Structure 1
Amino acid sequence: MSYVTINQVTKTYENQVVLNNISLTLQKGEFATLLGQSGCGKSTLLRSIAGLEEVDRGSILVDQKNITHLSPRRREVGMVFQSYALFPNMTVFDNIAYGLKMKKESNIKSRVQNMIDMVDLTGKEGAYPHQLSGGQQQRVALARALVMKPKVLLLDEPLSALDAKIRKNLQKELKRIQRELEITTIFVTHDQEEAMTLSDKIFIMNQGIIVQSGAPSEIYTSPLNTFVAKFIGNYNVLNINVFNKLVGNIELKGHEVAIRPEVLELLPVAQDILTTQDNWAIGGFIRDISMTGNVLRYEVETDGSILHVDSLHHQRKILEKGSHVHILIPKKECIVL
């Protein structure tokens, strides 16, 4: 039985459809990510679950309870925003305790202290938001949501304002806390790497619809269409006729072919390379080289088409810009769209 069910939800703004008949399900304890470009509807869907947006049609169920028309405070969901939204005149302790005090809950001190320990803010109880780093402020916002013991935790790009190193650390902490509490979580981001790192399940959105969903490995290795291939994995995407001409093949049928840059291999032209049962071999020359961390990305032109080839940057000789090369294309790695 699904723990969260979004059933045919539609939302429009001034005759513009923002959410177009969206349906999805989550199991209890899953970490799901809504992934997509700005304006695709992912934050609107999250706000609709939180009750901050009223949907035009459809239903939202949490733990088999229909919350579609309930007020936000009756939905038993917690939300963390990108902007933190902390009370500047309250200490860390009081910010976290605020919701508990409003509901006149019991054992407030111990519950808040336990949450402070969980998010690694011990010793900062008396600090004010302006005395904290961005990462620490985000931990306070997370603790404030979690201390209320929500059935579902909603996270709207909570790490996007942080620098890269802090962001990486908080990703690990967020995943640890989510696993420890076994809380069903829906995370919004436009960052593919972040989605891959955190998620049990990813829902890719485009223009108000879900275009593909599945486990990170499934999404990455088996894109269903051109949009997903270009968005999620920096695939090389070639028109089917162009590709067939390039490799001297007439068998592949479809619209386009997608190939991940890391499955391609570059070899110097000095080596005698031929097409085999497993690989196509084509010639080209290196137009450009860029480096992202430990990965070298080669931009290779071949018969008027451009292919990107990713290679680990290590001790072996780096091929030079302008060099003529062979490109090995594994046949089993070519995905027809």
Structure 2
Amino acid sequence: MLEIDIKRVLPGFSLEVEFSMEREIVAILGPSGCGKTMTLKCIAGLMQPDEGRITLDGKVFFDSERGINLPSQERRVGFVLQNYALFPNMTVYKNVAFGMRHRPDEEIHERIMELMYMMRLSGLEHRYPRQLSAGQQQRVALARSLAFEPEVLLLDEPFSALDTVGRRKLEEELQDIRQFYDGYVLFVTHNLAEAYKLSSKIAVYEAGSILQYGDKQQVVDTPCCRTVAHLTGAGNLMDGLVTDVKRNIVKVWIPGLEQHFRLIKKNGINLCKGQEVTIGIRPEYIRMTDEVTENSFKARVTKAIEEVSVYTYRFSGSNQDNHAFHLEASISKGMAPGLSVGQSCCLYLSPERLFVTPD
């Protein structure tokens, strides 16, 4: 198990995070400047926390109380930087071999040829980084980090310099890596789709802290607060008042829609009658329906965007007391007709898809 419990204070910013992971892929998701890369650097030994502890399967990397801070070369951590950090004056072969320079030549050659094949780099051994595409450079950086068989693999924004096609190919390759690398993989991203596709768990960062950490589906479907909801793309949020709680069934009055909504309580959150809450739903979970029933309502389109496979609609309105609502729905083209601004339709918010937060 990789366990991290660290604090690092800088002028105008502090990082204080605690989490652990098994031999799996974990994504650190958050905006720029929230401490994602700093966390990786502390694990790799490139930056020293002010206090705390980092351990890997019982081996202590860092312990401020005991005065332990292992040098990076003793941690067996592979780190792929955002800019790849390849040596421009070295060939692909020599770049990959760099981390193995203290091993016998025959062993180095065998390992490099194995990685060339695995990373689809065969035939490029004698090229220089400037002669490679961005995707090829990224694969070389990955091969170099894997060459010495690290226990932990850290990836800092691995897709940021790639186009759509290159990003998709590298995503597939990272998934394939799990077939021959069963270590700990921790990668940084600000893209939810990347985090969800590649990881088993997601840690949501904001301003140097972890707001939520857990199974990716749980983080996406049941954000713990408004900030996590926005960071994970679940920005359809409405203020409400709890009017009834029966076991895991909750009824919430939404003033903006002048209507009750029924939802299923998740995450063991404690709610009581009369409590002010926020309810929300992801845009892709909103459905169109033909009739007004429980959890459905009529709404007018204020913006319509046609995308490749979905229509993205924005709805807004307010009642006589100036309580407003704003919703965005992403609906498959095969599930609904195209609507224009000003048209109305009936929307359904499934009780199973709604989430509630106390803030």
TM-score, normalising length: structure 2: 0.85
Matching residue of 1:336: 356
Aligned with 1:10 (options 7, 10, 22): 7
Matching residue of 1:164: 164
Structure 2 CA distance, aligned partners of 1:150 and 1:215?
25
Structure 1 CA distance, aligned partners of 2:222 and 2:145?
35
Structure 2 CA distance, aligned partners of 1:306 and 1:194?
27
Offset at 1:180? 2.2
Structure 1 CA distance, aligned partners of 2:204 and 2:96?
32
Aligned with 2:25 (options 31, 50, 53): 31
Q: Runs of 4 or more off by more than 3 Å in structure 1?
A: 102-106, 250-254
Give deviations 1:96-143, integer Å, cap 9, x for gaps: 011211566761111111111110101111111111100001100000
Superposed counterparts of 1:1-337, under 5 Å: 3-7=1-5, 9-14=6-11, 16-20=12-16, 22-27=17-22, 29-68=23-62, 69-102=69-102, 107-240=107-240, 243-249=254-260, 253-267=275-289, 273-275=291-293, 279-303=294-318, 304-314=324-334, 317-337=337-357
- Does the CA-based 8 Å contact 1:112-1:147 persist in structure 2? yes
- Does the CA-based 8 Å contact 1:240-1:252 persist in structure 2? no
Give deviations 1:16-73, integer Å, cap 9, x for gaps: 34212x211111x211111111111111011000111110010111121111111111
Code of the residue aligned with 2:354 in structure 1: it is C
Offset at 1:192? 0.6
TM-score, normalising length: structure 1: 0.90
Structure 1 CA distance, aligned partners of 2:228 and 2:45?
29
State the identity as a percent: 33
Code of the residue aligned with 1:6 in structure 2: it is I
Structure 1 CA distance, aligned partners of 2:348 and 2:335?
21
Structure 2 CA distance, aligned partners of 1:249 and 1:158?
45
What residue ranges of structure 2 are gaps of 5+ in the alignment? 63-68, 242-252, 262-272, 319-323
Number of matched pairs: 324
- Does the CA-based 8 Å contact 2:292-2:346 persist in structure 1? no
Code of the residue aligned with 1:296 in structure 2: it is Y
Give deviations 1:122-167, integer Å, cap 9, x for gaps: 1111111111100001100000010011110111112111111110
- Does the CA-based 8 Å contact 1:91-1:129 persist in structure 2? yes
Offset at 1:315? 7.9
Change (3 A) 1:316 1:38: closer
Give deviations 1:183-204, integer Å, cap 9, x for gaps: 2111011111100000011111
Structure number with higher helix proportion: 1
What residue ranges of structure 1 are gaps of 5+ in the alignment? none
